[in-house]
Chains A and B, each alone.
Chain A
Amino acid sequence: MKILVCISNVPDTTTKVRFVENNKKLDTTGIQWVINPWDELSLTRALELKDDPASGVTSVTVAHVGLAAAEPTIRKALAIGADDALRINAEPSDAFYVAFQLAEVIRTNSFDIILCGIESSDHNGSSTGGMLAELLDYPSVSAISSLQIRDGQVGITREIDGGKETLTLPVPFVGIVQKGIAKEPRIAAMRGIMMARSKPVKITEPVSVEAFTEVLEYEMPEPRAACKLIDPEDPKQLISLLQNEAKVI
């Protein structure tokens, strides 16, 4: 079985974002770019499966739609343990554009399991995985918190509102992954970093397609009112404020 992990390249999750060019563009100065947290977990799970011979997983590839500036993120995925990488050399303008490019390379490369994260921490679109599945006409399962493979059979747990379901489905499929899929993201070891240099990154040019959406501008959230401090000796006051001022209890 061959697994493809789609990775998006996002600002480190502690970044205090700022915008330039009349709030149209992210100010990238000083930003540390990382693998989107869910993609890091998907990659970790894919590698755990590959480590287990009983899973039948033979290779783990990562795919990214992005310009050359994203190479360090791809190398990091290779250093963590992916076998090879595909990069579609294009600005990832929106989820549909990205999914369309990914569908194109998947059609020519063939994978059994394609993993995407439940959302990228920059645009919070939660869209790419489902779109990709529809473009490929593959089944999809969303909010996956566990993925097992035994005797070629895939077992999945997905989160539903207020519970979970376990299910099986045939390959190929697109799995949209959330927390739980792996405990901690795997970290690149020195050996991995050395080996990553010689692992293949195949670069392809994008196919022409129109994005469905565009960001016109960004704005910062409205600043919150200053915090009202309440005397720790008199918490009754808090309850009274919540009841009479905020009217939330």
Chain B
Amino acid sequence: MSVLVYTENWDGEFKKLSFELVSYASKVAEMLNTTTAVLSLGNVENDELMKLGKYGAQKIINVRGDVFAVLDNQLFSTAIADISQKENASVVILSNNNTGKALAPRLSVRLKAGIASGVSRLPISIDPFVVYKRAYSGNAYAHVRIKTDIKILTLAQNSFEITVHECNATIENQEITLDPLLVKTRVNDVQKQTGKVLLTDADVVVSGGRGMKSPDNWGPLVELADLLGAATACSRPVSDEGWREHEEHTGQTGKIIAPNLYIAIGISGATQHLAGVSASKYIVAINTDKDAPIFEAAQYGIVGDAMKILPRLVEAVKEMKSK
């Protein structure tokens, strides 16, 4: 028995979410009185792999291969299932990001293992195995019992604290024979955002809504984000209007994020918007309408005109940074 984590790598490197996954998994393993193994697919150097040991990984299973350069759902889920079986894993943990969402369900069928997706806390109980997960787009939480012998969890991003837990991790290089015919998807082109803080990774997000009035008013918002090392986001109408890129749209039908701080500027706080941001640790609202529902979700608020307040905030942050 063991807990197995799958973490993807980004051009050979791990991200915060990998460490979050391992931290979470090692706590689950503690509850189950078992060990934590991490699986990496693709070409990652040993130094990078060893980083996972810092967060509680006891065994790091490294399966190299150029076939893992792009995601093919069938290939990857076959590989992860194979290793899960070899490791006799009773709990398999993935991220609830696009990759995790693509792979976990296929693994579920292969391993006859029930899934709880988007968990944000440790299991409520181990026997029966009950977890706490988001439901109704964040308007409620469900206690879900997984009835199968093997359990699959996908961890909501930025929902679990990274905890250093040094243990003498060992790297185990393994090989799996995979039928190349399995790969049906053919990736022709990859476009990556560069030089920008990724919305799903960001600790701080500065977001604008229709209250920003026009695409020309975004300057101070972007400046504030840059000063805070934050990502920028927007409400749906803003991306629908083409004021901002679609990648920035947060909410039920956009990206679901959970930064430490979400600053909502000129956003009314419709339920569909909150569905994507309500898991943020702190929400700040800036809105001219004191009755806007966003103030019910926020811990800090300023009732006032964004056009006047934004430049002052920029000044205040500059001042803070100069100290």
Contacts and interface: CB of A to CB of B under 8 A. Distances in A.
Contacts, number: 273
A202 B275 CA distance: 35
Given A169-B185, A246-B261, A124 B135 contact: yes
Given A134-B106, A165-B189, A213-B146, A179 B246 contact: yes
Contact of B101 (A94, A130, A225): A130
A133 interface: yes
B118 to A, nearest CB: 6
B272 interface: yes
B260 interface: yes
Interface stretch (B50-58, B166-174, B314-322): B314-322
B285 A227 contact: yes
A7 to B, nearest CB: 16
Interface of A: 11, 13-17, 19, 37-38, 94-96, 99, 118-119, 121-131, 133-135, 139-143, 145, 158-170, 173, 176, 179-180, 183, 210-221, 224-225, 227-232, 235-236, 238-243, 246, 248-249
A212 B114 contact: yes
- Closest A-B pairs by Cβ, 8 of them: A130-B105, A212-B114, A232-B304, A142-B102, A163-B192, A134-B109, A139-B184, A248-B261
B96 interface: yes
A163 B193 contact: yes
Nearest to A236: B316
Contacts of A240: 320
B103 interface: yes
Contact of B302 (A134, A179, A212, A230): A230
B31 to A, nearest CB: 18
Interface of B: 10, 70-74, 77, 96-99, 101-106, 108-110, 112-118, 130, 133-148, 154, 184-193, 198, 200-201, 203-204, 228, 240, 246, 249, 252-254, 260-261, 270-272, 275, 278, 281-285, 295-305, 308-309, 312-313, 316-317, 319-320
B90 to A, nearest CB: 15
Contacts of B260: 248
Residues of B contacting A: mostly: mixed
Contacts of A127: 104-105, 108, 115, 117
A126 B266 CA distance: 31
A177 B152 CA distance: 22
B256 to A, nearest CB: 9
A134 B140 contact: no
Contacts of A210: 147
A16 B115 CA distance: 26
Contacts of A232: 302-305, 308-309
A94 B272 CA distance: 24
A143 B140 contact: no
B309 to A, nearest CB: 6
B187 A166 contact: yes
Contacts of B136: 11, 15, 17, 121-122, 124
B316 A129 contact: no
A224 B138 CA distance: 13
30 contacts: A11-B136, A14-B270, A14-B271, A131-B108, A131-B109, A133-B105, A134-B105, A139-B184, A140-B74, A141-B73, A160-B98, A166-B187, A167-B186, A180-B246, A212-B114, A213-B115, A213-B145, A215-B144, A216-B144, A217-B143, A218-B143, A221-B140, A232-B309, A235-B312, A238-B316, A239-B313, A239-B316, A242-B261, A249-B204, A249-B317
